[in-house]
Structure 1
Amino acid sequence: MTPEEYRRGPVTLRGAQRPARTTDQRLLESTGEADWVHSDPWRVLRIQSEFVEGFSALAELGPAISVFGSARTAREDPSYAAAEQIGAGIARLGYAVITGGGPGVMEAANKGAKQAGGVSVGLGIELPFEQGMNEYVDLGVDFRYFFARKTVFVKYSRGFVVLPGGFGTFDELFEALCLMQTHKIDLFPLILVGRDYWQGLLDWLSRSVLEQGVISGTDLDLLRVVDTADEAVALLHELIGAAPR
């Protein structure tokens, strides 16, 4: 997809048809007017359709691992190579690889999975920038709403592997932590790759957050940290084993 194109669900828009606001912005805005009484019930049907479409597309996928990281990671960056190796390693364990379907770390993980003979999945999202499904995705689903997309990530994943990334990566990371901490989902591996990148966050959690008593020590045990792609794949194998054939 070119920068001039805009993806809204299954629809591609260009030129004057390109909207100024995303579907999420329109859903969450509050104008103080009463027109929501007429429009929001119809939005519920669109939201329902996203869940149906996502569940339908991945229902027969089989066991999978999600890989997260920055869309801005260059192909020359060590994190790109690590994500590619992790994608390949996950595929060799018999798991599908799910990413956000975009460039950077997501592209690398999809590439590794595809070239290793595994199933490569992308769950895209409507954004003003960084849109488009990378060329290594075999099964792609585009979402309008972040919450629908995040539900599908969690529902069909046996674990998360998280490489260096920004706010979107943090969002997925802390979503999974919160769901496991509150026992909304069963515990699964949550592996951070790159100790140098993540250590500042871990120190802050261990000191400021834990010392304030707003989390417990066992909450920190939900996170596992490794330095290399091989360590990430080996830890997945140790924690959940190879996928059943």
Structure 2
Amino acid sequence: MSHIWPYLPARAVNITSLNEFDRLAAEALASRHTRGFSWRVHRVDLRERDSVLRALDLSEAIFIDCQYSAQGRELVQATGGLCMSSGKELPFETTARDLYTPDELYAGIKTSNYEQVPDAKIYAYSQQHTAPAALNSDDAMARTLHDHHVGQALVAQVYEGVFKETPLIGVMGGHAMLRGSDQYAQTVQLGQMITQNGYAVATGGGPGAMEAANAGAWLADYKPQEIELALQMLASQPDAIHQRTSWARTALAVKEKFPSTRESLGVPTWFYGHEPPNLFATKIAKFFTNSIREAVLLEQSTGGLVVLPGAAGTVQEIFQDACENYYATGARVVPMVLLGREYWTKTMPAWPLLKALAAERVMEERIALVDTAAEAMEFINSMGTLRRRTRW
């Protein structure tokens, strides 16, 4: 087994010298995408590389303890890259704790940039401390203990806490969905409906479709004209990757203008730390290990699953949950709705395969393909809900 897995993304590119940076930058600039995909640049002197930084798309890259020219840091951040300091002490707890809140992860965001808030500092630490020697010692144990306690806190909230009487409906979808789009507004409506019907929204906790569903839960008690105003406010800062600070501050402004007592869940991961967690999920179970995060999110979505258009990660979630439903019996099969007929039959034709897989199984009657949030909610309401497991 790898000494690095599961703490370092398998496709991550660790760059520890200027020669490595120059070689990979040249390859990227010669391609169609010019992307620094999954780059982790550690302690490299980039003071003479402004022209290269200006030309690259660094929206999924992180620069840790690097050196820059007077404008180098701004060039990295302008394209969405993160410039971080690794720090020396653990920036997270390893003892029993409750779930995170947006206030905890974004402490200081009103006056500081995203790079200075706890969420970003934990991400920077996780990417810096990835050497096998570190992972064979206290660092590996710290991450394991952290994820264990977050998992326990989530189970406690589901079975004894705020979600005890409201089965969770998982809303899956891509992070690229922009505020201000019709799809975003439709997903907000879906989050509202789920909440108003006595369920709780659970998402992957990130931006895009995930934020929209959590925002819908937050705004569930407001009138259409108030929802429209909230959407207009959010649309003024639509980009979570390139403008993390203003994106987060705008969400905070919406929450302050439209206070709420509604609860919803976000389950993000520092594995995809370049995607900031959204501020509308009131309870946040954030993990270092993505495989744990994915399994936990699907396991706890006992009220059903609504899948919005997305790419590889969303397709993976469809069939990860379909596998459980395929082998489950009776009422333990959780209803699944794919939202977007055109998308799921032509653009990303997962529906024909899902339908073929479900043929003559219990799950056949518990899958649906719809076009609107209202249709999705109607289908789930027609199904009985049952927790997949009970707590001793």
**TM-score using structure 2 length:** 0.49
Letter in 1 for 2:321: A
Equivalent position of 2:377 in the other structure: 233
Pairwise CA distance, 1:39: 8.2
Quote how far apart the aligned CAs of 1:125 are. 0.9
Worse-matched range after superposition: 51-60 or 116-125: 51-60
CA distance in 2, matches of 1:130, 1:193: 27
| Structure 2 residues without counterparts, runs of 5 or longer | 1-79, 85-90, 94-117, 222-261, 386-392
Could you tell me how far apart the structure 2 residues matched to 1:12 and 1:116 are? 27
Per the TM alignment, residue 156 of structure 1 is displaced from its structure 2 partner at its CA by 2.5
Aligned counterpart, 1:181: 326
Equivalent position of 2:294 in the other structure = 150
Structure 2 CA distance, aligned partners of 1:143 and 1:73?
Answer: 23
Deviation of 1:136 after TM superposition, in Å, equals: 1.4
Kindly state the Cα deviation for residue 50 of structure 1 after the two structures are TM-superposed: 3.8
Aligned to 1:94: 198
Task: Evaluate the alpha carbon distance shift between residue 105 and residue 54 of structure 1 in structure 2; reply closer, same or farther with a 3 A threshold.
Answer: same
Aligned with 1:192: secondary structure?
A: strand
Residues 26-49 of structure 1: CA deviation (Å, up to 9, x unaligned): 6xx9x8x9x869987776545533
The Cα offsets for residues 146-177 of structure 1, whole Å up to 9 and x where unpaired, read as 23222332333211111001122122211110
Partner of 2:187: 83
Question: What residue identity is the alignment partner of 2:156?
Answer: S
CA distance in 1 between partners of 2:264 and 2:283 (Å): 6
Q: What root-mean-square deviation, in Å, do the aligned CA atoms of Structure 1 and Structure 2 show?
A: 3.6
Looking at secondary structure, tell me which structure has more strand per residue: 1
Q: How many residues align?
A: 226
Contact 1:98 1:121 survives alignment (8 Å) = yes
Structure 1 residues 202-241: aligned runs within 5 Å: 202=350, 205=353, 210=356, 215=357, 217-218=359-360, 221=364, 222-240=366-384
- Shift in alpha-carbon separation, 1:203–1:90, aligned structure 2, 3 A: closer
Q: How does 1:127-142 map to 2 (within 5 A)?
A: 127-142=271-286
Give the % identical residues.
27
Q: Which residue of 1 aligns with 2:317?
A: 172
If you compute each CA radius of gyration, which structure gives the higher value, 1 or 2?
2
